[in-house]
């Protein structure tokens, strides 16, 4: 990100997004899809890729589109210590990564949790407090 050029009109700056409060431009948005994909594939953890995708609507649309599944597959394959298994047939790569690594409300109390799913079969997330009571 860098500061906008003084006197440059935003209308002549198509594709450059300006931070709402900072006045900063993010040239990440201007990258062609191939370069954005290459950069995103260097993220070694699906949480990092999820964070990048959820950092703006523009990046979300580009990183979660149907042609972006290769990025998610690669990140899933590079996960340490073992690769993440393939998504179930009814989930996309993005939905699978979100289910495994994204924030979820606890099924019991509604608190936001980043804990791994409590039940894969029921696709259930529980926070640490409720997990203690459920066991
Ligand atoms: Zn809970």
98 CA distance to ligand 1 centroid (A)? 18
- What residue spans define the domains of the chain? 1-30, 42-102, 103-135
77-99 residue pLDDT tens: 988 888 999 999 999 999 999 99
101 CA distance to ligand 1 centroid (A)? 17
- What does each C-alpha distance from 127 to 43, 84, 116 come to in angstroms? 27, 22, 9
pLDDT of amino acid 5: 47
pLDDT of amino acid 24: 63
* Tokens (6 digits) for 1: 């990100």
100 CA distance to ligand 1 centroid (A)? 17
10 CA distance to ligand 1 centroid (A)? 45
18-49 residue pLDDT tens: 555 565 677 888 889 899 999 998 887 899 99
76 CA distance to ligand 1 centroid (A)? 27
81 CA distance to ligand 1 centroid (A)? 28
Q: For the whole prediction, is pTM greater than 0.75?
A: no
Q: Give dist(CA 48, CA 102) in Å, integer.
A: 10
């Amino acid at each position: 990100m860098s500061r906008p050029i003084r006197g440059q009109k935003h209308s002549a700056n198509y594709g450059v997004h300006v931070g709402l409060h900072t006045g900063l431009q993010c040239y990440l948005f201007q990258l062609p899809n191939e370069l954005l994909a290459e950069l995103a594939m260097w993220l070694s953890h699906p949480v990092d890729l999820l964070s990048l995708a959820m950092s703006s609507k523009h990046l979300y649309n580009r990183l979660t589109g149907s042609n972006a599944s290769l990025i998610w597959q690669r990140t899933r394959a590079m996960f340490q210590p073992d690769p993440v298994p393939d998504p179930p047939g009814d989930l996309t790569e993005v939905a699978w990564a979100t289910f495994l690594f994204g924030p979820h409300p606890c099924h019991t109390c509604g608190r936001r949790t980043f804990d791994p799913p409590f039940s894969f079969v029921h696709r259930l997330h529980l926070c640490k407090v409720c997990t203690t009571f459920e066991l």
